[in-house]
């Protein structure tokens, strides 16, 4: 792309819109909603999927004819936009790798600490004005299995290790000699690892291979009294199986930040499942996160306009940015 040629950046928007002031005079920024997306895709050079909760791209992506040469999503996951036509063509896809990792790791660490120290129980007893002394758990010396060896999983594992937790990191395939975790375990080794974990954290991408990864067999394989956290994608978890494991007392607690259906319907049984913490897909959203996402996109636009390689290019067959 020539620097002197004004390109068209199409933004699949949400409120508030991104701050793209640095593109003034360099690109024509056009917004679209799900109803107008299909028509406007054919005249766009770049698509910014700012509304990363939308599935509209999957239905609107052109099978033939003009289409953007680059799609960027303001999220770590790309499952909401990848469709057969987009996977098959030569359009580059990039994601927001680098923005959410540490905030999500801190969120997971906060949940683990809250469950170990029974902060929810303290709040509930305070609400009832009841003074009841009890013992809580020491976090150091416990063991976690973190599923997902990408940047988010690695940040989660590193943060838990700093709290004295031993960590097994699980990825798609086994890798030895990892500078932080020694051996990254293969996904095929997950089931036996679950039985030794006090904390199981799911931070995996959603692919055909990982959909429904945590179902009845996985929860049954976990140690009685263990805790489970999902900050990956909702469909990674069989929510009915998780509810059964919590209500039956096999798991001591769990926390979900992502769900099969978002927003979570008011009549979902998850709201009132004992031992379950529900949060509305906010684990990576810290103050200033929208500005950070916009800056990341514009930085990559600079590379694109200069004909340089883009950062965070997704392997569309795998469904994520490969580990270097």
Tokens of 234: 């909702």
- Which are the contacts of 85, defined by CB distance < 8 A and separation ≥ 6? 61, 62, 63
Closest CA to 75 of 51, 98, 95, 104: 95
Closest CA to 281 of 262, 265, 301: 262
pLDDT at 136: 97
Q: What are phi and psi of 59, to 5 degrees?
A: -90, -20
Q: Residues 281, 303, 311, 324: which is the catalytic one?
A: 281
Q: Residues 26, 172, 227, 233: which is the catalytic one?
A: 233
pLDDT at 6: 87
Q: At CA 17, angle to CA 11 and CA 21, rounded to 5?
A: 85
Tokens of 250: 């096999």
Q: Are 73 and 95 in contact (CB under 8 A)?
A: yes
Q: What are phi and psi of 5, to 5 degrees?
A: -95, 125
Q: Residues 6, 124, 217, 262: which is the catalytic one?
A: 262
Distance, in Å, from the CA atom of 295 to the CA atom of 23, rounded to the nearest integer, reads 11
Specify the 3-state DSSP secondary structure of 291.
Answer: helix
Pairing between β-strand 27-32 and β-strand 276-278 as defined by DSSP bridges: unpaired
Catalytic (active site) residue 217: no
Catalytic (active site) residue 233: yes
- Taking 50 as the pLDDT cut, the residues of the chain under it are 1-4
pTM of the model: 0.94
The partner residues of 47 in beta bridges, in order of sequence, read 10, 71
Q: Are 236 and 211 in contact (CB under 8 A)?
A: yes
Tokens of 27: 């690109």
pLDDT at 2: 43
Span 99-114, pLDDT tens digits: 999 999 999 999 999 9
pLDDT at 145: 98
E-assigned strand segments in the chain: 7-12, 27-32, 46-49, 70-73, 92-94, 143-147, 166-171, 175-178, 182-186, 199-202, 227-230, 253-256, 276-278
Distance, in Å, from the CA atom of 203 to the CA atom of 187, rounded to the nearest integer, reads 13
Count Cβ atoms within 10 A of the Cβ of residue 219 and give its class: 0-12 exposed, 13-18 middle, 19 or more buried.
Answer: buried
Count Cβ atoms within 10 A of the Cβ of residue 311 and give its class: 0-12 exposed, 13-18 middle, 19 or more buried.
Answer: middle
């Amino acid at each position: 792309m020539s620097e002197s040629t004004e390109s068209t950046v199409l933004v699949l928007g949400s409120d508030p819109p991104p701050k793209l002031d640095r593109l003034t005079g360099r690109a024509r920024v056009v917004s679209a909603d799900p109803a107008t997306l299909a028509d406007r895709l054919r005249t766009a050079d770049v698509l910014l999927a700012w509304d990363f909760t939308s599935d509209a791209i999957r239905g609107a992506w052109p099978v033939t004819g003009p289409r953007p040469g680059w799609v960027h999503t303001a999220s770590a996951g790309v499952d909401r936009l990848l469709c057969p036509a987009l996977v098959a063509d030569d359009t580059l896809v990039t994601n927001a790798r680098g923005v959410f990792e540490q905030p999500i790791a801190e969120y997971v660490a906060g949940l683990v600490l809250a469950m170990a120290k029974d902060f929810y129980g303290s709040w509930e007893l305070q609400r009832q004005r009841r003074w009841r002394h009890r013992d809580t758990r020491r976090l150091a010396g416990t063991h976690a299995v973190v599923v997902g060896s990408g940047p988010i999983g690695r940040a989660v594992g590193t943060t838990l290790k700093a709290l004295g937790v031993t960590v097994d990191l699980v990825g798609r395939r086994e890798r030895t000699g990892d500078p932080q975790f020694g051996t990254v375990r293969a996904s095929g080794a997950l089931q036996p690892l679950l039985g030794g974990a006090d904390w199981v954290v799911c931070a995996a991408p959603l692919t055909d291979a990982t959909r429904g990864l945590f179902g009845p067999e996985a929860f049954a394989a976990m140690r009685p009294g263990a805790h489970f956290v999902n900050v990956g994608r909702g469909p990674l978890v069989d929510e009915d199986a998780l509810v059964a494991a919590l209500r039956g007392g096999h798991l001591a607690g769990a926390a979900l930040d992502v769900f099969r259906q978002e927003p979570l319907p008011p009549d979902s049984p998850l709201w009132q499942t004992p031992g379950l913490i529900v949060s509305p897909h906010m684990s990576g959203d810290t103050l200033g996160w929208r500005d950070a996402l916009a800056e990341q996109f514009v930085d990559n636009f600079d590379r694109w306009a200069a004909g340089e390689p883009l950062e965070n290019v997704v392997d569309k067959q795998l469904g994520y940015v490969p580990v270097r």
